[in-house]
Structure 1
Amino acid sequence: MEAFFDDLRTRRPGRPPAVFTARNYQNDLRLFFDYITDTRYGWPSTCNERFGRAPVQLLHEWNTVTHTSEYEGSAERRPLTYDEVQTLFDAADGRVEEIRARRRKGSLAALRDAMVLKTVYAFGLRRQEACGLDLCDLRRNPKVADYGRFGAVFVRHGKASKGGPPKRRNVLTVP
């Protein structure tokens, strides 16, 4: 195990794997070892008969990466500023105008992409949630009648809990 993870760390000099990547590898291997060492499946006895040895669990709490903090992302990553978001939206809109000015195909697709980008940002949607949106998901918000039928977005394909179905939620439009 040590040789495997040492190779993983040194494979790309200057860019070792992220902590959560190493932990995911370790968890996957631990689950595999749990399977092959479980006597209910007969692997230990079969290996003993054929090879004179039985498999053992190599990964334990004391020799694996622990999950200690809620956020493990890089400190260099930060949210975009309002000016950066505006620049991103302007670039998406500019792409539409550029394609139209050249009288080329694709302006409708570029307009769709710009609208999806703005919708994802406005409602804080995940990729899969955005892919599952349809026009019927635009809903009214009774507390803000001025928005008409665009007062909320009904997310039908939200992030699922482990082993569960996708969660549904309403996301309100805010000014």
Structure 2
Amino acid sequence: MAAFAAPGQPGQHRRSPRSHFVTDPLYEWTATCEERFGTHPVQVVHEWNTAVHVQDNESDAKKRAFTKAELHAFFAHCDDEVARIRAFGRKGWLPAFRDAMLFKTAYAYGLRRNETRMLDAADFGRNPHGGEFGEYGRCQVRFGKAKKGSPPKRRGVLTVFGWTPDVLDEWFTEVRPLFGTDNSPAAWPSERGMRIGCQRLNSRFIAYRKALGLDDGLDFHSFRRSYVTHLIEDGWDPRFVQEQVGHEHASTTSLYTCVSSDFRTRTLRRHLDSTIAAALQTQTGRQA
């Protein structure tokens, strides 16, 4: 949809699905406007200077979040694969361990795929207001999703899950050094390059999803959907969740929220019970 403003009249825009006709010389509207109003319309919004619709990935009705049981099963399968490969004495256990840690980190901070794979070891640090998380109280995202024509968007994400520091500490202190990454800043090094590629992450994710018999409505982005959904279900403030995932508008965050029927039932029951309790208390007070 295009937007237009007449010269000398900033802020006065006309929007129409067919507004490109207004400035098309074939229709002679510019000449008519010059004749009648002494000015002419100018197109100010084009495909090249507007952001791509940010909800495209969420428009597919099949896409969804993990349930907590599915997520637990997925991560358990990740760990089992590492143990299985290692038991056979194969070298592939290191990449499998890395990918398991990467998947868990994507969920732990509600990250997109590229945001996760572009993390450096130095992007994790202390949160002075969350000392219990130690050296992993905060994750600095440097390659957030950018608007078209803009640089990557940065944001800091605070650690919220108690298990996150243990997972990251094991990776960075015990396993990552086995990759021989002394000169690499990458949090998730590749066997053949500095960073793991998107295709490798996709293939690993799909293999695990198929092994568990899960549907294709789950993809890497489901870690992010799950993060939003599970925090909302657990009672976290929606504005806090919005800031954590870097959404400019609350309506965007709401698209990611796929609360379970159990959550809705518990919420309904809690409000009904409180309403009934309040009514009974009022009635008792009147009788007294």
| Equivalent residue number for residue 108 of structure 1 | 94
Long gaps (5+) in structure 2: 1-19, 26-52, 162-288
Aligned ranges 1:93-104 → 2 under 5 Å: 93-104=79-90
Secondary structure class of the residue paired with 2:156: strand
Shift of 1:78: 2.6
User: What is the CA–CA distance in structure 2 between the aligned matches of 1:127 and 1:110, rounded to whole Å?
Assistant: 17
Secondary structure class of the residue paired with 1:153: strand
| Equivalent residue number for residue 133 of structure 1 | 119
User: What is the CA–CA distance in structure 2 between the aligned matches of 1:161 and 1:110, rounded to whole Å?
Assistant: 33
Shift of 1:149: 1.4
TM-score, normalising length: structure 1: 0.58
Matched, 1:118 2:104: yes
| Equivalent residue number for residue 60 of structure 2 | 73
User: What is the CA–CA distance in structure 2 between the aligned matches of 1:100 and 1:78, rounded to whole Å?
Assistant: 32
Shift of 1:150: 0.2
Shift of 1:77: 3.3
1:31-72 Cα shifts (integer Å, max 9, x gaps) = xxx8xxx77xxxxxxxxxxxxxxxxxxxxxxxxxxx9x9963
1:15-42 Cα shifts (integer Å, max 9, x gaps) = xxxxxxxxxxxxxxxxxxx8xxx77xxx
Structure 2 counterpart of 1:118, which letter?
A: K
User: What is the CA–CA distance in structure 2 between the aligned matches of 1:106 and 1:159, rounded to whole Å?
Assistant: 31
Matched, 1:154 2:140: yes
| Equivalent residue number for residue 53 of structure 1 | none
Q: Aligned match of 2:70 in 84, 100, 120?
A: 84
User: What is the CA–CA distance in structure 2 between the aligned matches of 1:73 and 1:104, rounded to whole Å?
Assistant: 39
User: What is the CA–CA distance in structure 2 between the aligned matches of 1:170 and 1:164, rounded to whole Å?
Assistant: 19
Matched, 1:145 2:134: no
User: What is the CA–CA distance in structure 2 between the aligned matches of 1:88 and 1:172, rounded to whole Å?
Assistant: 24
User: What is the CA–CA distance in structure 2 between the aligned matches of 1:148 and 1:105, rounded to whole Å?
Assistant: 31
In structure 2, the CA distance between the partners of 1:77 and 1:127, relative to structure 1 (3 Å rule), is closer
User: What is the CA–CA distance in structure 2 between the aligned matches of 1:116 and 1:131, rounded to whole Å?
Assistant: 8
User: What is the CA–CA distance in structure 1 between the aligned matches of 2:133 and 2:59, rounded to whole Å?
Assistant: 38
Secondary structure class of the residue paired with 1:169: strand
For the aligned residues, what is the CA RMSD? 2.5
Structure 2 counterpart of 1:112, which letter?
A: R
Long gaps (5+) in structure 1: 1-33, 40-66
In structure 2, the CA distance between the partners of 1:108 and 1:123, relative to structure 1 (3 Å rule), is same
Secondary structure class of the residue paired with 1:154: strand
TM-score, normalising length: structure 2: 0.36
Identity %: 48
| Equivalent residue number for residue 169 of structure 1 | 155
User: Hey, which bits of structure 1, 4+ residues long, moved more than 4 A?
Assistant: none
